[in-house]
Structure 1
């Protein structure tokens, strides 16, 4: 369940997608590919937060000390348990410090290698959780291009990214 970034890099790194569920940089599938629908979800979340704050104020006025932000934490837990999440690949590539002459990358999977341009790779996203669960079959990650052109046919089962 790990992915290595190797090849023409200063620092080869190993990624563990199972811990990304706790990373604030993660994006939902809806946020990336259906931004209109995500806006509706965000408005619902904001409404829930407003209701939670209003409830907290009323309870504090009654001199009762409830657990802080319990409903917000419950919402976030529910979101994590049911969400489909993607992680931008750019920060990890930046950390590995690729050589200035890198023009392409090879995505190593169980089914072979897929060649992708370095610029497209830098702007891509890795799907790491579907319905709140890590990708065990065809995992650990699937690669989606930011423009959504491979949305129906992502590169699945990536085990290693070799920059050339």
Structure 2
């Protein structure tokens, strides 16, 4: 259930989609292709990053440290998580891997063979990791959806490895 990002990157990283359900960056599948929601999420991400930075600076002076970031999940949120489908933008993870400047394509190794797409397309894409509140076990661990939703009915399924070329 893990997906490595390897190849023409500074750091090889491993994605674990099973923990993304608790990640604040996840997006509801039905909201992923709505431009208004995407713009709002970008603003929210910046605000959250700013808050985390402020908390870290503030916590350095406290003993013992207080961790407000890892607070519990309210009951309504838990119920929502167990009913909905979610995607995760892949761009953040490509940033962590530090894709090298001369990279221009990506090979997605799937259970049904390899598929090659452009790096630009991948950077704007989403990884579907939860369908109706359940992880993708049989056609997963992740499926790739283009940002324009053009392959929403036929995503790239069963991605097991992402190799940057």
Is TM > 0.5 for Structure 1 vs Structure 2? Answer: yes
Query: What CA distance in whole angstroms lies between the structure 2 residues aligned with 1:130 and 1:8?
Result: 31
Residue 83 of structure 1: how far off its partner (Å): 1.0
Shift of 1:33: 3.2
- After TM superposition, give the deviation of residue 86 of structure 1 in Å: 0.1
2:87 aligns to what? Answer: 86
Q: Distance in 1 between matches of 2:92 and 2:128?
A: 15
Higher helix proportion (structure 1 or 2): 1
Aligned structure 1 segments of 4 or more residues deviating by more than 6 angstroms: none
Residues 35 and 29 of structure 1, relative CA distance in 2, 3 Å threshold = farther
Alpha-carbon separation, structure 2, partners of 1:33 and 1:89: 15
Calculate the aligned-residue CA RMSD, in Å. 1.5
Aligned twin of 1:68: none
The alpha-carbon deviation at position 150 of structure 1 amounts to: 0.8
Count of residue correspondences: 130
SS at match of 2:74: helix
CA distance in 1, matches of 2:164, 2:26: 23
1:34 Cα deviation (Å)? 5.5
Which residue in the other structure is 1:7 paired with? 7
Question: Displacement of 1:143 after TM fit?
Answer: 0.1
Q: CA offsets per residue over residues 16-65 of structure 1, 9 Å max, x none?
A: 000000000000011113679x8xxxxxxxxxxxxxxxxxxxxxxxxxxx
What is the SS of the residue equivalent to 1:114? strand
Matched, 1:145 2:150: no
The higher radius of gyration belongs to 1
What is the aligned partner in structure 2 of residue 114 from structure 1? 115
